[in-house]
């Protein structure tokens, strides 16, 4: 049986790494659907992710994809895993606060499978006590996290907040999909 995943892409320079992840998941025969926040489209184009995933990319919560489909509900029923990558402080805070004001946050709220966040942000943002409190709150509710790692960030500094390596993410996804 083909493994199914929804990948939620947020606005971060690390968004380009989603293309690498999708390519490798395709090689492993995963069926992939992608949701992008509006901010994510500033870093990588929907066309790139549509081409790699071989599926439509979803962005607008109010765009009707068919006469009967409600996107956040149909997407929430599609996969066993919803991976939010890169997970920004914004999306982590929204979900921890129960805010569902766009397609990705609404889909997360309706999703009954495993939701995994792969954070990527500046060290100062990652270490902010509010972000850390939100992460702990989400963990208590059963949301999973992969990373972040310590390393060189896009601004040239070294610290926590770097997106986890693609291989590490794939290993974690394969382990989660077996359960």
Question: Which residues, other chains included, contact 157 with Cβ-Cβ below 8 Å and sequence gap of 6+?
Answer: 122, 123
Nearest to 5 by CA among 37, 40, 31: 31
CB-hemisphere CA count at 13 Å for 158?
A: 1
| Residue-range domain boundaries for the chain | 4-120+145-177
Asked if the model's pLDDT at residue 19 lies above 80, the reply is yes
- Segment 96-134, tens digit of pLDDT: 999 999 999 999 999 989 999 999 999 999 999 999 999
- Segment 65-100, tens digit of pLDDT: 554 455 666 676 688 899 999 999 999 999 999 999
CA-to-CA distance for 99 and 1, rounded, in angstroms?
34
CA-to-CA distance for 108 and 95, rounded, in angstroms?
8
| Tokens describing residue 149 | 């790692």
Please check whether residue 123 is in contact with residue 157, taking contact to mean a CB–CB distance below 8 angstroms.
Answer: yes
Tell me the fold of 4-120+145-177.
Rossmann fold (3.40.50)
CA-to-CA distance for 176 and 111, rounded, in angstroms?
16
Sign of CA dihedral 77, 101, 135, 159: positive
Question: Which residues, other chains included, contact 62 with Cβ-Cβ below 8 Å and sequence gap of 6+?
Answer: none
Nearest to 17 by CA among 168, 120, 166: 166
């Amino acid at each position: 049986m083909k493994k199914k995943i929804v990948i939620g892409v947020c606005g971060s320079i690390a968004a380009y790494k989603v293309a690498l992840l999708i390519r490798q998941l395709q090689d492993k025969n995963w069926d992939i659907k992608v949701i992008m926040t509006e901010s994510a489209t500033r870093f990588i184009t929907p066309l790139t992710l549509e081409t790699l995933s071989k599926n439509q990319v979803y962005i607008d919560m109010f765009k009707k994809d068919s006469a009967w489909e409600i996107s956040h509900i149909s997407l929430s029923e599609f996969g066993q895993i919803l991976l939010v990558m890169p997970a920004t402080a914004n999306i982590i805070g929204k979900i921890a606060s129960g805010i569902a004001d766009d397609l990705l946050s609404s889909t997360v709220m309706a999703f009954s499978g495993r939701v995994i966040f792969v954070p990527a942000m500046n060290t100062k943002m990652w270490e902010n006590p509010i972000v850390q409190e939100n992460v702990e709150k989400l963990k208590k509710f059963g949301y999973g996290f992969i990373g972040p790692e310590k390393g060189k960030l896009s601004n040239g500094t070294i610290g926590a907040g770097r997106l986890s390596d693609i291989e590490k993410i794939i290993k974690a996804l394969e382990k989660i999909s077996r359960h």
